[in-house]
Chain A
Amino acid sequence: MIAAEWTKIRSVRSSLWTLPLTVVLSGALGYLLALSVRSGGGQAFEKDPLMIAFLPLTLGQLPLVVFGVLAMTSEYSTGTIRASLAAIPDRARFYASKVAATTLVAAVVGVVAVPVTFLAAQAGLGRSLAMDGVAQALVGACLYLPLMTAFALGVATMLRSSPLAMGILLPVLFLGSQGLGNIPKVREVTQFLPDQTAWVMLHLAGPQDEARWARDYGAWSGMGLLVLWVVAALLGGYAVLRQRDA
């Protein structure tokens, strides 16, 4: 059944652009960002240069989030859901294969995008970024991308509509987290938003030894929070899928 979901994924155009776009976008941004830092453009990155290699993923994740959303909402917008549930009437099994295939594909894309972005950043910077915490950050990033994809899939299953799901997810990932998150009082709350929870591990939350950047959780516990978000979203999606008529 995972094979069937894989056939669905590879046989539509949206996958053919969202998946490579993740790699291209974050890789290109990593290189450009590193170039500008090299020519003296980013004092902010001096304290923690690893940020250069991982910040681009916050943009690169967006096509993956779209991919995660479309994996479910396209079932409804095209009517494929009727064929899917006629073929697999056990909705838990249908949902599990959908989640597994989508997350697995996102994981493979992540395993490509993360090192590509890292190497692009090094190339642009002209020096190695091998330093303390780099291995942990690389592993974290490879977990982060599929987890965000699964989160998007869960939210989309609850909402069953692409505009609605994108309308909620994209502002959260852009405004809530990155824009408003720069205001200290707001950050006390936004630090718990799903994408933010992984930022300590990805060296995007600012130097954690400085009080003004320090989060209320560490690298791995932050990743644990993200897992909780994903589990909650997927369970919410299942509750909706199980109850509603197709």
Chain B
Amino acid sequence: MVAVEGLSFTVRPGVVTGFLGPNGAGKSTTMRMMLGLDRPTSGDVRIDGERYRDMRHPLRRVGALLEAKSVHGGRSGFNHLLWLAQTNGIARSRVRTVLEQVGIADVAGRRAKALSLGMGQRLGIAAALLGDPPVLLFDEPVNGLDPEGVVWARELFRGLAAEGRTVFVSSHLMTEMAMTADHLVVVARGRLLADTTVSEFVAESGTDSLEAAFLRLTAGGAR
């Protein structure tokens, strides 16, 4: 099965780049390929010119939150972050720091399966921040977050970009993307539809919102 085909784009530092597409568009597959979890039949992904799988301490270069669960339900959030830190020579003190940064320090000793969906998502974001990386990938990060959490995540991503980091956020939620991203990469059916700024994307479509622009574009792609 082909999930992604002929997809090529560049993500730049200092801004939040939104990765937009309907469910099944190949967003998660693309992000998994970035981390070397899935292998493309041809082509490759380079981060600062280097393949992810060639990096010695990748968590210090690239932090990622994947859509699929990647935490052992029986292990505490603290221990999950601790073993991750140990694999990449990250100081133990960073575990406490990121737990506080995402606001779950008080439940860090609880087993992961006892965490709410939103707290689990925050734990995943903490794991991405653990190595203080200049590049951050978040796949559907606001899934499961309550409204307050959604606002918090938006502020976090914009803040990380303002620090000069490269922030790449996937979502199928238009309005959320319109408020978070500066730049957009739009995909549907595994193909690239647009690689532009949010304002240009809307302006060029002749519509007045990101949602309308997106629907027009993906409807065109379906024909």
A residues touching B (Cβ–Cβ < 8 Å)? 1, 3-5, 7-8, 11-14, 74, 78-90, 245-246
B192 in the interface (beta carbon within 8 A)? no
Query: Contact at A90–B53, with CB atoms within 8 Å?
Result: yes
Query: Contact at B83–A78, with CB atoms within 8 Å?
Result: no
Q: Which residue of B lies closest to A4 (CB)?
A: B86
Tell me the bound Cα distance from A97 to B44 in angstroms: 27
Chain B residues with CB below 8 A from A13, complex form: 74
Query: Contact at A88–B75, with CB atoms within 8 Å?
Result: no
**A-contacting 9-mer, from B7-15, B62-70, B98-106, B202-210:** B62-70
Residue from B68, B72, B76, B87 within 8 A of A88 (CB atoms): B87
Tell me the bound Cα distance from A82 to B124 in angstroms: 12
Query: Contact at A11–B75, with CB atoms within 8 Å?
Result: yes
B161 in the interface (beta carbon within 8 A)? no
Residue from A4, A245, A246 within 8 A of B84 (CB atoms): A4
Min CB distance, A138 to chain B, in Å?
A: 34
Chain B residues with CB below 8 A from A79, complex form: 68-71
Min CB distance, A82 to chain B, in Å?
A: 4
In the complex, 11 of the A-B residue pairs with CB atoms within 8 angstroms, ordered by the A residue number, are A7-B83, A7-B86, A78-B74, A79-B70, A85-B37, A87-B84, A87-B87, A89-B54, A89-B55, A245-B37, A245-B38
Tell me the bound Cα distance from A89 to B36 in angstroms: 7
Tell me the bound Cα distance from A79 to B113 in angstroms: 13
Query: Contact at A85–B83, with CB atoms within 8 Å?
Result: no
Tell me the bound Cα distance from A5 to B82 in angstroms: 10
Q: Which residue of A lies closest to B86 (CB)?
A: A4
Query: Contact at B79–A11, with CB atoms within 8 Å?
Result: yes
Chain B residues with CB below 8 A from A8, complex form: 72, 75, 79, 83
Min CB distance, B3 to chain A, in Å?
A: 11
9 nearest A-B pairs in the assembled complex, by CB-CB distance: A4-B86, A11-B79, A89-B53, A7-B83, A82-B70, A87-B87, A83-B70, A4-B83, A78-B72
Chain B residues with CB below 8 A from A4, complex form: 83-84, 86-87
Tell me the bound Cα distance from A238 to B72 in angstroms: 22
Chain A residues with CB below 8 A from B70, complex form: 78-83, 86
Chain A residues with CB below 8 A from B64, complex form: 86
Known: A11-B76, A74-B72, A246-B38. 20 other contacts (CB 8 A): A4-B86, A7-B79, A8-B75, A11-B74, A12-B72, A78-B69, A78-B71, A78-B74, A80-B72, A82-B37, A83-B84, A83-B127, A85-B37, A86-B66, A87-B58, A87-B87, A88-B87, A89-B36, A89-B58, A246-B32
Chain B residues with CB below 8 A from A85, complex form: 35-37
Tell me the bound Cα distance from A11 to B52 in angstroms: 28
Chain A residues with CB below 8 A from B52, complex form: 89
Q: Which residue of A lies closest to B84 (CB)?
A: A87
Query: Contact at B37–A3, with CB atoms within 8 Å?
Result: no
Query: Contact at B75–A12, with CB atoms within 8 Å?
Result: yes
Tell me the bound Cα distance from A233 to B210 in angstroms: 54
Tell me the bound Cα distance from A90 to B80 in angstroms: 20
Chain A residues with CB below 8 A from B79, complex form: 7-8, 11
Mask, B113-139, CB within 8 Å of A = 1, is: 000000000000001000000000000
Min CB distance, B42 to chain A, in Å?
A: 16
Chain B residues with CB below 8 A from A86, complex form: 35, 37, 58-59, 64, 66, 70
Chain B residues with CB below 8 A from A246, complex form: 32, 37-38
Chain A residues with CB below 8 A from B54, complex form: 89
Chain B residues with CB below 8 A from A83, complex form: 70-71, 80, 84, 127
If A11-B79, A86-B64 touch, whether A3 touches B58 (CB-CB below 8 Å) is: no
